[in-house]
Amino acid sequence: MGKLIKVSKALTIAGSDSGGGAGIQADLKTFQELGVYGMSVLTAVTAQNTTGVQGIFPVPIEGLEAQLASIGADLTPDAIKTGMLFSSEYIERTAYMIKKFQWENVVVDPVMIAKGGATLLGEDALQAMKTYMLPLAKIVTPNIPEAEALTGIKIDSSEAREEAARVLYEAGADHVVVKGGHFGNGEYVSDLVFNGIEMVELTEKRIQTKNTHGTGCTFSAALAAELASGKKTENTIVSAKKYIQTAIEHGIDVGSGHGPVNHFAYRRVPHEQY
């Protein structure tokens, strides 16, 4: 009999993107590329492609709970990421199950709106996200509109972004990453990282492309994969940033709208190692 290899396991709790660029598809591809065993719990199925979201079909809440129970009974994840959680009820149930199983290394990507403008999370869910998910988060990864919605702060300057990061930290997240994809359109894109002590900006060249579908999902999945592998939180943020940068830079030609990023690129294209 062959010898079994020990692997780290990562779980995504998110929506399905039929187009394969965002949601659980982006997450599982990223887990695989980063060498961890990927598992998925679906909150909703979206009919989606690179031009937009054509439909949203939630999984019944009992189905969400049953999937989480199946994982909990057999396959303890080394890290988790949450993506589209659909509604306040689904957020509460997810948080309850994470606590019940005492799962750690939770990355919360507070997905609210798809790139084309479709709403992926109800307004009523904002408070639930703050109350139930932020206290569980080792890392929370809002983009600018999400950080604005969660904090009520208009982010029109670096100071305002820092203020928002503080508010999210106070709400219970261990590390806050306010992503900068939607922050200006200069030569560089920077993500602000706050760990309760210092503010650090991670800066990369802004790639001029319309193919940014799934960037947020991919980034948070890379964080979960690296946490599952046992990296220190600060190091996971640096390497996840490299992963997403490489994936955007070496774009692929798929679909006629906002295409996906290249999940293979990090493994195939030479890059600095962390």
Ligand X SMILES: Nc1ncnc2c1ncn2[C@@H]1O[C@H](COP(=O)(O)OP(=O)(O)O)[C@@H](O)[C@H]1O
Structure tokens at 29: 């591809």
Active site residue 214: yes
5's CB contacts (< 8 A; 6+ apart) are none
Residues 166-195 that bind ligand X (CB under 6 A): 179-182, 189, 191
For strand 106-108 and strand 175-178, is the pairing parallel, antiparallel, or unpaired? unpaired
Q: Where are the beta strands (DSSP E) in 124-267?
A: 139-140, 175-178, 188-194, 199-205
CB-count burial class (<10 Å; 0-12, 13-18, 19+) for 246: buried
84 binds ligand MP5 (CB under 6 A): yes
Residue identified by tokens 């210092």 is 198
Angle among Cα 163, 108, 102 to the nearest 5 degrees reads: 125
**Which residue of 200, 207, 252, 254 would you call a contact of ligand X, by CB under 6 A?**
207
Closest CB to ligand MP5 among residues 13, 128: 13
Q: How far apart are CA 178 and CA 154, in angstroms?
A: 13
Size, binding site for ligand MP5 by CB under 6 A: 18
Is 215 one of the annotated active-site residues of the chain?
yes
Of 215, 236, 239, 246, the one binding ligand MP5 (CB under 6 A) is: 215
In a 13 Å sphere around the CA of 59, the CA atoms on its Cβ side amount to 21
- 70's enclosing H/E stretch is helix 61-74
175 close to 233: Cβ distance less than 8 angstroms: yes
179 is catalytic: yes
Helices 88-100 and 61-74 cross at an angle (nearest 10°) of 20
x/- string (CB under 6 A) for ligand X, residues 243-262? -xx--x--------------
State which of residues 46, 82, 211, 212 lies at the interface with ligand X (CB under 6 A): 212
Contact yes or no for 142/168 (Cβ under 8 A)? yes
Q: From the list ligand X, ligand MP5, none, pick the one residue 17 interacts with, judged by a Cβ distance below 5 to 8 Å according to partner type.
A: ligand MP5
Q: Is 151 an annotated catalytic residue?
A: no
Q: Which does 23 bind (CB under 5 to 8 A by kind): ligand MP5, ligand X, none?
A: ligand MP5
116 counts as binding ligand X under rule CB under 6 A = no
Please tell me whether residue 241 binds ligand MP5 under the rule CB under 6 A: no
* Residue 175 touches which member of ligand X, ligand MP5, none, C-beta under 5-8 Å by kind: none
Interface residues toward ligand X, by CB under 6 A: 143, 179-182, 189, 191, 204, 206-207, 212, 215-216, 219, 241, 244-245, 248
Q: What are the catalytic residues?
A: 179, 212, 214-217
Interface residues toward ligand MP5, by CB under 6 A: 14-15, 17, 22-23, 46, 48, 83-84, 111, 114-115, 120, 213-217
